[in-house]
Structure 1
Amino acid sequence: MGRLRHRNLKKKILTWEQRYKILIGVSQALLYLHEECDQRVVHRDVKPSNVLIDAELNARLGDFGLARMYKHGNNPETTHIVGTLGYLAPELTRIGKATTSIDVYAYGVLMLEVATGRRPIEPQRNAQELVLMDWVRELHSRGEILSVIDPTLDEYNPDEAKLVLSLGLLCSHPHPDYRPDIRRVIQYLLKDVCLPELPPDVHLEVPGTMIEFSDTYPDA
């Protein structure tokens, strides 16, 4: 059992078809946690290094050290803000509740990362490309979304690439009300339903908060 590490993307180890399969596998793992367990489970640290991959490239989620559980139908309690920089939903600093929507947000960032081969935050980049989702969103608004695809990919399906990037932006939308639940995400990925147009961005005033991070960046 291996892990989805950033270096695997950069060394052409994973083809587009393999990446797409892994993304579907992670979404199905989240569906099990969010809807099919006896209690609702919020992972709270979805990122590449916590994605486990077997020899057939079936993906599972690992490292449940930050996970929280609550009964279906109940509201989650306020808790400490933990997670990994770049994958934290902005509303966490406002409400401090571990909802399933924060996993969807992190999954959206993961989708962008898998499609582009970039980390969510790359300090060495120029200001326009520093934050992955901002860069992808800007190029999406220009109609140039496919220009962000990982250049190490020799071949990829353009329609699937547009779907993954657009869905990644939708899942990582700054306002949680615009994000789909994970069941709907799977329907989009399996092409059972058509992805709607992206909603407008919603500016969120996020107050300064002391945040405990599980680490700074995913491992290289």
Structure 2
Amino acid sequence: MNRMEDKVAIVTGGARGIGRQIVETLSREGARRIYSLDMGIGEYDLPNVQQVQVNVTNRDQVAKFVENVKNEVGKVDVLVNNAGITRDALIQKMTEDMWDAVIDVNLKGVFNLTQAVAPIIMENGKGSIISISSVVGVYGNVGQTNYAATKAGVIGMTYTWAKEFTRKGAAVRSNAIAPGYVETEMMATVPDKVLQPIRDKTPLGRLGQPQEIANAVLFLASDESSYVNGHVLEVNGGLRL
């Protein structure tokens, strides 16, 4: 039996990178419908994937999208908060615009989607909310004050939602995944002289693959993790920054 059979999922930042791998993995596992949200459109040829252009920072767009989902399929089983950006600089050089942009997408965007979708999941009686944090949100990193703040904030929201969404008896689980450094299109632009020290510090001696993050999402999205709630799953090869 496919692990996502009859489930309806929403994945933000689904057009490329880790988000795309998550969408494809949930699709292969038999999800009835996957809504892939992004500012752009990816190249998908999967009958159970519907791409939607949504800016997660725009509350009106989010509300309209969620209302459409409710009208179309009547339920949501899984929400994956994956959309995120970086605007790196040492704090002395970090501008207010750099701070605001990252806070808006990585923190407010997660808040917006979860606030809109959680009531539908609770009506369903059970479901899974998975938010993508980062190794940087757990251990911090030079030049990423804004990013670290948002990814640590995602963990704090996850712990809170694990308590809030189950108060009235619904089995709505909230968990986070904290990936390490993963080989994505974004990482391809980073010089090897920067990446090699990260590999050297990682006990497994390599960067992660998008599929390895998607596998963790699949576990938390499926009923296999039915007793996992309020947990941060570190998928980082043992890296400690």
Q: TM-score, normalised by structure 1?
A: 0.30
Going by fraction, where is strand more abundant, 1 or 2?
Answer: 2
Q: TM-score, normalised by structure 2?
A: 0.28
- Structure with bigger RCO (C-alpha 8 Å, 6+ apart): 1
